[in-house]
Structure 1
Amino acid sequence: MKMYLFILSLFFCSIMHAQTTITGSVTDSNNLPIPGANVKVSGDNAGTVTDMDGKFSLTATRKPPFTIEVSSVGFGVKKVDVQSENQKIAVKLTDEENKLDEIVVSASRTPERVIESPVTIERMGLQQIKNTTAASYYDGLENLKEVHFNTSSLSFKSINTRGFATVANTRFMQLVDGMDNSSPALNFVLGNLIGVSELDVANVELLPGASSALYGANAFNGILFMNSKSPFTNEGISTYIKYGQTRQNVAGTNDYWDFGMRAAKAFTKHFAAKANFTYLRGTEWIADDRNSVTDGGIGHGVNQNYDGLNLYGDEVTTFINNVGQVSRTGYREKDLTDNKIESVKADFSLHFKPWANDFEIILQSKIGTGNTIYQGANRYALKNFYMNQNKLEVKGKNFFARVYMTTEDAGDSYDMRFAGWNVNALSKSNTNWFTDYATAFQLSSAILGLNANGASNYARAFADTNMSPGLNLTPNTNPLNPSEPRNARFEPGSTQFNNALKTVTANPDLTQGAKFIDHSEIYHSDVNYNFKDIIKFAEIQLGGSARQYVMNSEGTIFTDYDGPIKYNEFGVYGQLTKKFLEERLKFTGSVRYDKSRNFDGFFSPRVSFVYSAGADKRHNFRASYQTGFRNPTTQDQYIGLDLGPFALIGSAPDNLTRFTEIRQNNVNGVTISAQGQEILGADQVTLSGVNAYQNSYTLSSVQAFDAARNSGQTIAASAALLEKATIGLVKPERVQAFELGYRTIVNNDLSVDISGYYNIYNDFLNQARVYTPYYGDANDTSAGSQAVAAINNKDRRVYQIYTNSRTEVKSKGFGVGLSKKVYKDFELGANYNFAEFEFDQSKDPSFIAGFNTPKHRVKASLGNDKLFKNFGFNVNVRWNTEYLWESSFADGMVPENTVLDAQINYAIPKIKSVLKVGANNLGGKDYIQVIGAGQIGRLYFVSLTINP
């Protein structure tokens, strides 16, 4: 027995002495780490894969010398001789580009090949970033399959996938180095205004469709991941400078400048740092749509109630007896802002690796500031806005934990519609203006004999200028305030106009001003652990997140009159991945539970299968079912904003009592009922959100009531048309997403990607307008009720409230993407997307879907990175059918358009530089993507990029 134990101990000792552990890293030709690369010992079963930083540790069962083989999809295989145990291995793989073989992380939170992803995924790597035909890599994302852009400004572009989005796209997430890029108050992404510099971006991954199972609330219609370079693997100073010109029919020809610099240094193997700075300046795509929102022709010369789409102030309108509906003269958008855009971004990070492994601590700070325009319910000029993100992250081979905060300051930003309204009011109050108009109309018609059109033009000229040729009229004085000035309309560009605009845009009271205040914040934490090195039968991940919103608008946007409003939400998730059938079938199952303070908890499951067929596993079929949800935004819950003609009230339970306002009755002291009966009432009433949500009539029924009364119908007949609004408090909207797909690579040069989806939406977040009577019970629609009397006497208030649609909405679509080497190094790519939706309007007549997506889209590209020595080029073309645009600002048809972009680049090896000349919308006409935004013109640019 002793002899047996002795021999056994020698055997184990021999094994222990035979083991060799080697470490190293794997990078590509650009010195970027390659995660998920396979490292194995030739002729042996020993092997491992690289981590997220391209590093590996391999234990072999033999002593050196021996050979290891390193491989990764999209790269050639490389063999390295290992001569000693202490040998440090550094492997650089040569590209064998095939987009479906690239490694991605976002689809399953673990490295995997694109071809094996369980869901549709698009990726832009360094080569695609270099070859983009757009002025920036972010703009170049528009050429990816499934991506649809909504352009509100030259510097503010909103990404959307699979429909149902406006510029303020709260259904799409954007993560920059793991941080949610959304505005804390607005709850949507501000383009790339606080994103990643193109000098620092390592790759971009896009997941179309729902992804709540892994990424939680608001991962509803898609997620964009932008990942930056590590200073440990990408050192040195790099810079770029771009100069170009924008050309638009309205704005003319203007200069365009873009500059960026990156500095990174690994001071030791344990400490590295980097810094980025970018600056962009240009002239806006000026919005100048003069089409009328109201019925009638374009311009007050033919339509006295004209309301131009990009004119503000002419929304103020009233009915004048014997004249009709009349609107004030508005100001053009281009007069209410200087139309200059500016973007300044900077970020700094410190990276610590205290041990000789992949454990890393990152401290990061990002700031963004500047001027731009975005479109929501109105058009907003963001002036000197500021946004800041600070992060602490700890990560390793199989885990990460991060905390970050996002803060913002609206700066000098303002609402251009209110700017137009209140500049007008500073020159002459609405009461006085309409009084002057009515007086001049009646007298010019009676004395001068002008027809209705001539009298309306004469009256407008008098109300605007205080001049009345032929009548010698003088403006009336205001009996309530005789000292009120009766100025003529301030002409754009005049000293009076400029002073008035400055006054209005500095005042946050929207009854007099246009400025909005915002100092809101988000505090967020994420954690994830992958047990693959502990649990062997399957790959299991657990994770979670927690978030706190802090709304701080000083009562100008939210109902935070008595201090900031705070609320929390959290989520936890788990995922299991396992391969079957000789690793041909990959199963992924995950589930997440989320809870927000104002809503019930919600489970989001996802199940997917990927089957790899063929001898080389190149035919990959995938099927998935997943759910998504979107929590109501901070505005959906806590807004309390008086917009003049109506007010916005959020739907959080405590917000209904937080919001109150005092309204003046049309009849003081006593209210006269519709039947002539006197009802004792007060001069003023106090209304709250409770009245709006629980004691209101639907907009359509009040409109029907008014039409009936105007046609002479009795109060009883008219009252029978009133319908009480039954509005439920807002809750999360949900989507169930089914997807099928197929990916393959044919003859190593043809990539095929086909996908189809079917989505079912429930509890679609929606807005509705209701009429709240100043007095009475809306349940009582009898002819003698106080509520009916209030509606009839115009003692009523319009509220826009937030709720969920009762109808079920469905959408479906499919896409095909092809990429092939057609001749030598020429690569041809093409993709097609189809998308449509359906719902039963009769179940919710007031529901507006806002699909805002073309039914058919085609994109194509042709490029050659090695056209001839040091030269490369790329051409992109995009086409889409016309589509209906619906939003709270404006509705209309977006025309069919075709856009051609092109670039040619020249490498200068001696100075490690690339010179690029490009053009966007080459030879095309101005076109729009958003009704109400400026038409997109042409951009020509030349850039020089210098790399270390």
Structure 2
Amino acid sequence: MKKNYYLFLTLLFLLLQAAPLLAQDAAVTVSGIVQTDAGEPLPGATVFVKGTFIGSSTDREGRFQLRADFSEPPVVLSVSFVGYETREVSLPQPDNAVQVTLKVNATLTSEVIASASRVQEGILQAPVTVEKLNTQQVERIPTADLQVGLNHYKGIDVNGSSLLMNSLSTRGFNSAKSERLIQLTDYFDTQSPSLNVNAGNLTGLSELDVESIEIIHGPASALYGANAFNGVLLLNSKDPFVTEGLSVRVRGGQRSFFDGQVRYAQKLGEKFAFKVVGSYLTADDWLASNYAATSTLVERRNNAEGSSLGYDAVNRYGDVPNTFTANQPLPGGVSPELVGKTVFMPGFTEQALIGDDDKARSLKVHPTLSYLLTSSIKMTAGFNYSRGTSTYQSSSRYRFKDFGTNQFHGEIKGARWFLRGQSVQDFGANSYDMNFLGSFLQTAPVADGSTVRNVDQYFGTYNGAYKQARSTGATPEQAQAVAQTQANATQLDPNGARFQELRSQIINDATPGRGARLNPSSLLNEGNAQYNLPLAEGTDLIVGAAYRKFRLGSNGNLYSDDDARIQNREMGGYAQLTQKLLDERLKLAVAGRVDAFKNFDAAFSPRASVVYSAGASKQHNFRASYGRAFRSPTQLDQYIRLDVGQVLLLGNVGNGFQGYTTGAATQATIVSAQANPAVLTPFEYSAAALKLERLSTYEAGYKGTLGEKLALDVNYYQSYYNDFIGAQRFVGNRDGSRPTPTQLLTALQTPQPFQGATSPTRILQAWTNASQEVRTRGAAVGASYSVAQPLTLTANYSLNVLDKSNLPDNFQSFFNTPKHKYNVGVNGLVNSRLSYAVNYRWAQGHLYELPFAVGELADYSSVDAYVGYAIPQFYTTLQAGGSNLLDATNTQVYGGPNIGRLVFVGLQVDIK
């Protein structure tokens, strides 16, 4: 753990030691007022000395004050405010009566971004599809999790597996863990090192500290490296030098919802500034309750829903199966009529397993210290403490309880360069696997000291009751119903003392094969640097490099790390050359990055783009680009070793696997193979060790304004995926070898065929590369029309299509994306006090595939709204809002919960 502090302490030491070495700036005070063209003050406008980090923001009366160096005049002030055009004011000498008037820019087309090209540029001239949300738009998001509200914007899909566990995707292949889109906070990766999970905003910024959000659509590996595959999400925090003062927000509402946030920032003289941000959120979590039969792609022996033999339900845990065999040791022997039939115990609901642990919680504390080494060199060191409780879904449903991260990060940044580093450690704390919990409840002894297990009692009762009913003249179907009723009566009572005793025992036990506790604790250390080198007028070159190292730890209950932490590393370097021509109307850019890995061959990611700006004020911007990206298999894909009962999940970075398709796992086939092994030949299966997944995308688009009121953004893309990474189930040996007919027969004849912690032959699941090329295409259009400042109309539509023409039947693509999706909304600011936003979202139902569950989602929709009323004399804004106000169907993940209505009221206080 001490190693986690090295980066933080080193940066802090350098920061303090640098102070006496600095030359004194020849700075004097500049002050003034920023107002609208109607003469109204603009509180919260930012004022920067261009080319430096010297800045401030205006107070309630629109006034500002800062210090500037006039040794080489003129000094240029850059003044900006959300919804207004940015202005630059040139001062030949000090001035304490500066007056700046900003003109309304309702279409927000003067926004500046840095994510698309890793240098600042106007959003209209970005070479790829990118979205930006400003502070006001963030404030109006009415959902409990900040990132959920991003599904109001074109091309962005949010998958919610609980209240606070949400993942973002663009351009398809959605999942509950956002594995093809990277998430950054101030350019620092926020993923959990153990699970490679981007847990919504559970470990991200508190909304009070969000300055802006930028989302890149499509491949970005050329500048961001591995897994910037389908996009990048960047959260930018507020600078304590610029946004000072105290902000407090408190909200409360339905489902025992409470959200409290505080931010305090202060400059200490002209060189030092600090901020402390904290937040706490709690509410009744959304629980899943889908009791349809689990797909046979997940549980191959499953019976139909409602079967008197029982069945495995999606959101029941502990639906333990038993395929009766003639030699199974049961009292009185097995009924011959049950031999070969699979009977399922009824598992436990999510509510029963979670019990009183049904609260979603998030606690975040983020202190930061910044220091100006010079006016154009800034140093920042910070610590992020994050803990949360909610439910996550992937190979199972996991209850993340007190799950969190400690992140130490530091940055030294100049006008054209930066150095960044961070160390992150995550903690599973009291988290547990609900499938394990349900299964181990069933396999526990019926009482302390007993050798009879609950599962033995259940199937013994079923068998005995079935034989008794048949002996009295019942039909097989009637006998099954009687047997099921009598066996169900032996099931543990979730309200009983024995259930509660076992539940506590299993949840707190991390022993593989016995306990459900999930307590990985892994580390991620990384550093990166970049330099921007202007070569000539209109020509710029940026170069950069990055390194990261994972140290995975789970004590053998998630990874194959029995003896020591697993170490994995990757590094890369990139460059981008930009050329502006034709009076800066034509911008050409080429970028490339090379990355090297411990387990995979090196990868090269190029990107080429062209942007042409037409119109008198360059308001019409046409873009085209080609990008190639790659996805490194997650740490779980590479190193997992997790036994979930009916299947053993194994990583695939060794020598691959040899085995048979699951179609070979039938009694007739295996018995026949004893005399004639050639019977198995058609079922042979081979999987090579994992490779990088590769993506090539062609994109064209337009972004601009039509008049002063209408803004339009349109894009079309075609993508080609090769070496597509997906999960594959097959029959094999743990060591990767192909089972012999004898091994298959032995595995078939166990009480739970192809199961058992010590059985060498199992149903395995490993991540492999598909040989088929997977093709997708899509388009998105977004428009906003400003009728007046009090009323802006917005609409967007997204199309995402999976081309199945070259894919074999039953190919699992995990595309998980609605073909059609749209949003319509209105928002505005009335009388500078009343702000509001209303949005209706609709998405078409579609197939959703995860290792945990596979099934069809119905169409889903949501009406979300926010209203705020400012009372300036009390520095207060009254707020109210709600998500899914009509309580419509809103299930975004198959096997996940329906995200229902959540309404809140609250207030926000801002004192500068």
Specify the TM-score bucket, using the shorter chain as the normaliser.
Answer: 0.7 to 0.9
Whether 2:61 is the aligned partner of 1:96: answer no
Q: Residues of 2 paired with 1:451 and 1:788: CA distance? A: 34
Q: CA shift at 1:379, angstroms?
A: 0.3
Contact persistence 2:310–2:484 (CA under 8 A): no
SS across alignment from 2:687 = coil
Determine the structure 2 residue equivalent to 1:660.
none
Alignment of 1:715-794 (within 5 A): 716=676, 719-720=679-680, 722-772=682-732, 778=738
- Aligned equivalents of 1:237, 1:582: Cα separation in 2: 45
What CA deviation, in whole Å up to 9, does each residue of 1:464-512 have, x standing for no partner?
44xxxxxxxxxxxxxxxxxxxxxx4320122211111001111123422
Question: SS at 2:842's partner residue?
Answer: strand
Please identify, of 549-558 and 795-804, the stretch whose mean Cα deviation from structure 2 is larger.
795-804
Q: What's 1:403 paired with?
A: 421
Q: Distance in 2 between matches of 1:331 and 1:875?
A: 39
Of the candidates 446, 460, 475, which is equivalent to residue 484 of structure 2?
460
Relative to 1, partners in 2 of residues 1:774 and 1:266: Cα closer, same or farther, differing over 3 Å? closer
C-alpha separation in 1, matches of 2:594 and 2:673: 55
Give the equivalent residue in structure 2 for 1:585.
586
Structure 1's unaligned 5+ residue stretches are: 1-19, 40-47, 246-253, 466-487, 654-689
> What SS does the corresponding residue of 1:652 show, helix, strand or coil?
coil
Instruction: Indicate whether 1:237 and 2:246 are aligned.
Output: yes
TM (normalized to structure 1)? Answer: 0.83
- Hey, what's the Cα distance between the residues in 1 that align with 2:224 and 2:317? 40
Asked if structure 2 preserves the Cα contact closer than 8 Å seen for 1:807 and 1:839, the reply is no
Residue 305 of structure 2 corresponds to residue 306 of structure 1: no
Task: Report whether the alignment pairs 1:797 with 2:762.
Answer: yes
The alpha-carbon distance between structure 1 residues 822 and 271, as it changes in their structure 2 partners (threshold 3 A), is: same
Q: CA 1:79–1:114 in 2, change beyond 3 Å: closer, same or farther?
A: closer
CA distance in 2, matches of 1:69, 1:137: 29
- Counterpart amino acid of 1:182? Q
Higher relative contact order (CA 8 A, sep 6+): 2
1:230 aligned counterpart, secondary structure? coil
One-letter code aligned to 1:443:
Q
Q: Is the 8 A contact 1:464 1:489 kept in 2?
A: yes
Structure with bigger gyration radius = 1
Equivalent position SS for 1:110: coil
Shift of 1:185: 1.1
Taking the TM superposition and a 5 Å limit, the aligned residue runs for 1:470-549 are 488-532=490-534, 536=537, 538-549=539-550
Summarize deviations over 1:272-325 as a string: whole Å, max 9, x none. 1111111111111121111112665544xx431311111111143323541221
Q: Is the 8 A contact 2:27 2:67 kept in 1?
A: no
Query: 3-state DSSP class of the match of 2:436?
Result: helix
CA distance in 2, matches of 1:79, 1:652: 55
**Residues 1:612 and 1:224: Cα distance change in structure 2 (over 3 Å):** same
Q: 1:593 touches 1:601 (CA, 8 Å); kept in 2?
A: yes
In 2, Cα distance between equivalents of 1:72 and 1:22: 24
- 2:223 corresponds to 1:198: no
The answer on whether the counterparts of 2:701 and 2:714 sit within 8 Å (CA) in structure 1 is yes
CA contact (8 A) 1:243 1:942 kept: yes
Contact 2:219–2:231 (CA under 8 A) maintained in structure 1 = yes
Alignment match, 1:861: 825
Partner residue in 2 for 1:360: 378
Match 2:833 to one of 862, 870, 883: 870
| 2:167 is aligned with 1:158 | yes
Write the distance in 2 (CA, Å) between the matches of 1:765 and 1:593: 21
Q: Is the 8 A contact 1:22 1:86 kept in 2?
A: no
Name 2:328's counterpart in structure 1. Answer: none
C-alpha separation in 1, matches of 2:81 and 2:282: 41
Give the corresponding residue for 1:317.
Answer: 322
| 2:513 alignment partner, SS class | coil
Structure 1 407/52 Cα, relative in aligned 2: closer, same or farther at 3 Å?
Answer: farther
Counterpart contact for 1:242–1:941, Cα < 8 Å: yes
**Hey, what's the Cα distance between the residues in 2 that align with 1:78 and 1:190?**
38
Asked whether the 8 Å contact 1:885–1:893 carries over to 2, the reply is yes
Q: Distance in 2 between matches of 1:163 and 1:391?
A: 32
Paired residue total: 834
The residue aligned with 2:126 is 117
1:559 matched residue in structure 2: 560
Contact 1:774 1:787 in 2 (8 A): no
Query: What amino acid does structure 2 have at the position aligned with 1:194?
Result: T
1: distance between equivalents of 2:77 and 2:464? 94
SS in 2 for 1:589: strand
Q: CA deviation at 1:346?
A: 0.9
Q: Structure 1 counterpart of 2:821, which letter?
A: R
Change in 2 beyond 3 A, CA 1:709/1:745: same
Determine what percentage of the aligned residue pairs are the same residue.
32
Matches within 5 A, 1:808-847: 808-823=773-788, 825-839=790-804, 847=811
Partner of 1:350 in structure 2?
A: 369
Distance 1:811 1:345 in 2: 38
In structure 2, the residue matched to 1:662 is none
Q: 834, 840, 850: which one pairs with 2:814?
A: 850
- CA 1:862–1:731 in structure 2 vs 1: closer, same or farther (change >3 Å)? same
Separation in 1 of the partners of 2:550 and 2:262? 33
Identify the range of structure 1 (820-829 vs 799-808) with the bigger mean alpha-carbon deviation.
820-829
1:537: Cα distance to partner? 5.3
SS across alignment from 1:726 = strand
The DSSP-based 3-state class of the residue aligned with 1:153 is coil
Residue 574 of structure 1 corresponds to 575
Report the CA distance shift for 1:104/1:328 in structure 2 as closer, same or farther (over 3 A): same
Determine if contact 2:44/2:81 at 8 Å carries over to the other structure: no
Give the whole-Å Cα distance in 1 for the aligned partners of 2:684 and 2:54. Answer: 58
Deviations 1:53-91 (A, max 9, x none): 699999999x88x99997899644757574636989896
- Distance (Å, rounded) in 2 between the aligned partners of 1:60 and 1:587: 37
Q: Which amino acid aligns with 1:379?
A: R
Q: Does 1:918 align with 2:881?
A: yes
Q: Is the 8 A contact 1:861 1:876 kept in 2?
A: yes
Matched to 2:708, the amino acid is N
Letter in 2 for 1:538: T
What is the distance in 2 between the residues matched to 1:215 and 1:52? 28
Residue 651 of structure 1 corresponds to which residue in structure 2? 652
Residue 150 of structure 2 aligns to a residue whose secondary structure is helix
Asked if 1:334 is matched to 2:351, the reply is yes
Tell me if the contact between 1:347 and 1:367 (Cα under 8 Å) persists in the aligned partners.
yes
Q: Assess if the C-alpha contact under 8 Å between 2:643 and 2:649 holds in 1.
A: yes
User: C-alpha distance in 1, partners of 2:736/2:512?
Assistant: 29
Within the alignment, does 1:207 sit opposite 2:216 as a pair?
yes
CA separation in 1, counterparts of 2:120 and 2:304? 59
Q: 2:77 and 2:31 mapped to 1: Cα distance?
A: 13
Q: 1:851 to 1:925 in 2, by over 3 A?
A: same
Task: Give the direction of change, closer, same or farther, for the CA distance of 1:76–1:21 in structure 2 (3 Å limit).
Answer: farther
Aligned-partner Cα distance in 2 for 1:815–1:297 = 40
1:432-460 CA distance string (max 9 Å, x none): 432332122212321x4333344234333
Amino acid at match of 1:635: L
Amino acid corresponding to residue 550 of structure 1 in structure 2 = R
Could you say which residue in structure 2 is the equivalent of 1:889? 852
Q: What is the rounded CA distance, in whole Å, between the counterparts of 1:462 and 1:97 in structure 2?
A: 69
> Contact between 1:98 and 1:751, CA under 8 Å: does it hold in 2?
yes
CA distance in 1, matches of 2:867, 2:81: 30
- Quote the offset at 1:354 in angstroms: 2.8
Identify the match of residue 148 of structure 1 among 145, 148, 157.
157
Given that 1:53 and 1:358 are in contact with CA atoms closer than 8 Å, whether structure 2 keeps it comes out as no
Amino acid across the alignment from 1:759: S
Give the SS at the match of 1:605: strand
Letter in 1 for 2:586: L
**Post-superposition offset of 1:32:** 5.6
Map 1:601-620 to 2 at 5 A.
Answer: 601-620=602-621
